Amino acid sequence: MNRRFQIHPTSLPGVNRIERMSISDHRGFLQRVFCNDELADAGFSKPIEQINRTLTHQQGTVRGMHFQRPPHAEIKLVSCLRGEIFDVAVDLRQDSPTFLHWHGEVLSEANNLALLIPEGFAHGFQTLSADCEILYCHSASYAPQAEDGVNARDETLAIAWPLGITQLSDRDASLPLITADYRGVGL
């Protein structure tokens, strides 16, 4: 089989860096964004239910750290189509050996990388350049009643954002901080 993705495990079990392989010639290139057969091997084991696209204008902006509670928990495949971002996944799974650990990857239009984030993880990113365009494939549709998140500035998580945070929505700034009794997400 002619594979179009290379799958690279990260320090967090289930979070995988996906490298898209291009077919190029004098006209330009073709690149697969998603392939059910290949990405099932990386953990995207459900159908795509929703695809979202965002544009973030200002460098240094943070969006996140968002997740959906079960039964609406979702797998995400995140790609940067324009610009450059620092993409972050935080393990919120109860009883996980990497509970509250995070992993970050630089995704850009130039490096052909995506991040596959399984259920039970919060997700967010920081723009490293202006006018970043992101494409998300989700295994579950948005369910407002299941929406949740943790604060991107939480000192317990200690996410090492590469830049000072220039913008954070009111909603994201008001997300809760991790407390000593935080139990995470049961799946």
How many Cβ atoms sit within 10 Å of the Cβ of residue 142?
13
Percent of the chain with pLDDT over 90: 90
Residue 57 among the catalytic residues: no
The answer to whether residue 45 sits within a structural domain is yes
Residue 187 has pLDDT above 80, yes or no: no
Average pLDDT in the 146-166 region?
Answer: 97
**Per residue in 9-38, pLDDT tens?**
999 999 999 999 988 999 998 888 999 989
The answer to whether residue 70 sits within a structural domain is yes
Q: Which domain holds residue 54?
A: 5-173
Residue 136 among the catalytic residues: yes
Looking at residue 186, its pLDDT comes to: 87
Residue 1 binned pLDDT confidence (cut-offs 50, 70, 90): low
The answer to whether residue 140 sits within a structural domain is yes
The answer to whether residue 133 sits within a structural domain is yes
Query: What is the DSSP secondary-structure string of 6-41?
Result: EEEE-SSTT-EEEEEPEEEETTEEEE-S--HHHHHT
- The count of structural domains within the chain is 1
The answer to whether residue 68 sits within a structural domain is yes
The answer to whether residue 114 sits within a structural domain is yes
The answer to whether residue 184 sits within a structural domain is no
CATH code for the domain in which residue 31 is found: 2.60.120.10
**Catalytic hit among 72, 103, 123, 136:** 136
Task: Determine the Cα angle at 130 with ends 31 and 81, to 5°.
Answer: 10
Average pLDDT in the 60-73 region?
Answer: 97
**Catalytic hit among 66, 72, 123, 138:** 66
The answer to whether residue 21 sits within a structural domain is yes
